[in-house]
Structure 1
Amino acid sequence: MMKAFKKRGALTHFQILSEISKQDPHLKQKDLANTLGITIQAVSENIKTLIEEGYITSKDGRSPYKITQKGIEKVKKDAINLRRYSDSVLETMNHFKTVWPAIANEKLKEGEKVGVYMDDGVLYAGKVEASATGTVLKNASKYHDVPLGGLNGTIEMNVGEAIIITIPNIKDGGSRATDLELIKRVYENGTQHGSKIDRVATVGTVARSVAYQLDIPISIEFAAAQATANAARKGLNILALSVGEMTKAFVRELEEEKIKYNIIDGKK
């Protein structure tokens, strides 16, 4: 998840570029050293590298430093990667919170000990046997949100799979050049292991048209690649209809989350 910062000094480069991007004309190497908690020599060496790589400009390697367009693009890209990593850490930390929200599968009363389980990507609580248990903190009716405390055990949750079917773009024939029977068969038969398809993702107008023609319900259509990976991580199996080069975004997200996937050519 932190691919952008795996190289030695990459995080320092990001911090230096971030400080320089604030456009303080009086920014000195000493200031950067104090802010980053490193030596002036280390700042100097990193700035030299950033100048050589075209991320900042400077006269004789001294201030004022100016960030280039290339540097701005690098900071934005690294900041997005850092935010994704932070979000994943926060999501993990949520497992340690003292109050959990769940959906009540029946009427529950405060103080009752209940089973907690995942179903169709949703956390439920009820008077059932489960590998995880919790205590109801407030009364809740069926299908209402219920706060739980004192969680014990492990919530069983299998990671789902993804099937990506690539569809020709409109220049290559669009839905007319798509093997609709193949897509229908995959949707009905499910994953390679025989598990049913829980959600369908579409990217592009042609993909939407294919789903309409086959009367396949669309569940995911915005930020589809990331949403597909998130859904699979919660145990759902996803069928993604992707037009042309858009498949690369799915592959990138699924591999980053270590989700099993299969790519099928949907062209006739």
Structure 2
Amino acid sequence: MVDVLDNKRAATRFRILVQIAERQPAVSQGEIAEEVGVTSQAVSEYIRELVDDDLVEKEGRSRYRVTPEGVDWLFRTADDIRRFADHVTGDVLDAMSEAAYLATDDIAEGDTVTLFVEDGLLHAKPGNEGPATGVATTDAEAGTDVGVTSFEGVMDLEPGSVTVLQVPAVRSGGSRAVDSDLVAEHCEAAELVVAAGVEAVVACRQAGADPAVPFAAGETAAEGAERGLEVTAIVTTDEVGRVTDTLRDADVSYEVLEG
């Protein structure tokens, strides 16, 4: 357990040092006492200890400054708290939460199920033969949704990538200036096709490929790739920057091609 969470005195010490850092150099012990919920005398004692431990430097009457050692201690303690919070939200609460999966076979409530991703969807099948498992919280027939909780392990998932195919804006020829065969080739090779911009949607349709999503292309492409899909994004040149920014922020592999 992190010291500041396991020990009330350590927690108060941390909070007072944070308050000094926020208010320095003019520090009102009364204001800190009110903020932290202790007496002014207690704040004075804590500050004296912080000074003795070289975490705080006294510059004069009611003037204090956090030392480099104090800053380092704050960073380390804050990192410990952050890691513990990540453990709680990422491990403990995730394991307690419930999510919907697509049942591949009939499943009964309480069954252990193996979890995997296929065609971008979360699937559950009876048994515990895979690297990721859970426990069914509902009965489900094959092909229907089933609730799953008590997750263990990590699903095998190879991230996909995104091919961004540019379509000129209408002022530069729009869909008429695109090689329809090239668009068709990339759409046929993809597991998910999205489009951004009217010119891009028309270019898709002219190539015989109706995009699954004609808007929010960047977000959809990024999520599809994260779920292991190979994605083609047909994008008007005016929208390319917005789409690639989204892909970059999501740390998704992509390439941009001329249509």
User: How does the TM-score come out when normalised to structure 1?
Assistant: 0.60
Q: 1:221 aligns with which of 214, 217, 226?
A: 214
Q: What are the Cα deviations for residues 138-191 of structure 1, in whole angstroms up to 9, with x where unaligned? A: 211122221223322211122110000011111111111111111112223x3x
The answer for the alignment partner of 1:38 in structure 2 is 22
Distance 1:115 1:257, change over 3 A: same
Q: How many residues align?
A: 180
Q: Is the 8 A contact 2:98 2:148 kept in 1?
A: yes
Q: Is the 8 A contact 2:131 2:153 kept in 1?
A: yes
1:144 aligns with 2:144: yes
Give the TM-score normalised by the residue count of structure 2.
Answer: 0.62
2:10 matched to which residue of 1?
none
Change (3 A) 1:202 1:91: farther
Q: Deviations over 1:16-73 (max 9, x none)?
A: xxxxxxxxxxxxxxxxxxx9x821769xxxxxxxxxxxxxxxxxxxxxxxxxxxxxxx
Counterpart of 1:106?
105
**Conserved? CA contact 1:226–1:253, under 8 Å:** yes
- C-alpha contact 1:99 1:149 (8 A) present in aligned 2: yes
The residue type paired with residue 171 of structure 2 is K
Is 1:240 aligned to 2:240, yes or no?
Answer: no
Q: 1:176 to 1:225 in 2, by over 3 A?
A: same
- Alpha-carbon contact 1:220-1:228 (below 8 Å) kept: no
1:117–1:125 Cα contact (<8 Å) kept: yes
Contact 2:184–2:208 (8 Å) recurs in 1: no
Larger Rg over CA atoms:
2
Kindly state the Cα deviation for residue 236 of structure 1 after the two structures are TM-superposed: 1.5
Where structure 2 has 5 or more consecutive residues not aligned to the other structure, the ranges are 1-18, 27-87
Q: Which residue of 1 aligns with 2:193?
A: 200
Q: What's the % identity of the aligned pairs?
A: 24
Query: SS of the counterpart of 1:130?
Result: coil
